[in-house]
Amino acid sequence: FMTTKLPNPHYPPEVCVKVSLLNFTITIGGLEDQLLGVTIREERPDLEEQKNGLVVSNAKMAKQLKDLEDMILQLLSNSKGNILDDFELIEALGQSKKKAKEIDEKMAEAAIAEKEIDSVREEYRPCAFRGSLLYFCIADLAKIDPMYQYSLEWFTRLYAKGCQDSEQNADLAIRKTNLIDFFTFSLYKNICRSLFEKHKLLFSFMM
């Protein structure tokens, strides 16, 4: 395999037909979702825990449904003679139907709960969106000087610290403003430490 740091490499058609290209470059939308998870984990850990629990629960219930389908298919394939005379098969099918109905009801309840959690999560999206824009802003600094390289891991840690250290407020709108303003200034201070003096004003305009 070959790897490259080029953000959008171009290869001739004769190469493309012989290889599989995998693009691991992070996108604005992808980073936004990632930072939204960080924001919720810091601001509403209860919601993040519920969300993770629902994901695990849904996966288990989906597997149970798949197992039931496989069991029914196996019973039908192994059945001999008239199916209506096979009382064991009929009883198993009845139990499977009952179990499948219970799972469907639980999955419907989980879907409603997940929708409610997502609606609360969406209220914090402006913070994540701002964070995502700022990351790509500092990523573009490498075009000015190759020395300006900043890791996503470092940026994510700084963002989480911004959530912890910014001023708290019971009003969500004010809280989001505090978080965005605090992180923007925190990032500016940290990045300016690594910039040449002549590039600091340009970075200010970029932000």
pLDDT score at 93: 78
Distance in angstroms between the alpha carbons of the first and the last residue of the chain: 38
In Å, what is the CA distance from 139 to each residue of 30, 39, 48, 109, 158? 15, 21, 29, 42, 15
Q: What is the pLDDT of residue 61?
A: 86
Q: Look at residue 25 in the predicted model and tell me its pLDDT.
A: 74
Residues 62, 110 contacting (CB under 8 angstroms): no
Q: Over the stretch 152-190, which tens digit does the pLDDT of each residue have?
A: 999 999 999 999 999 999 999 999 999 999 999 999 999
Amino acid at site 64: Q
SS3 content of the chain, % helix, strand, coil (to 5): 75, 0, 25
pLDDT at 155: 96
pTM of the model: 0.73
Determine the pLDDT at residue 100. 82
At 173 the pLDDT is 94
pLDDT for res 43: 92
DSSP 12: -
Check residue 7 and give its pLDDT: 64
**Of 144, 133, 145, nearest to 184 (Cα)?**
133
- In this prediction, residue 138 carries a pLDDT of 94
Low-confidence ranges of the chain (pLDDT < 70): 1, 7-8, 83-85
Give residue 136's Cα distance to chain centre.
18
Looking at every residue in the chain, the average pLDDT score rounds to 87
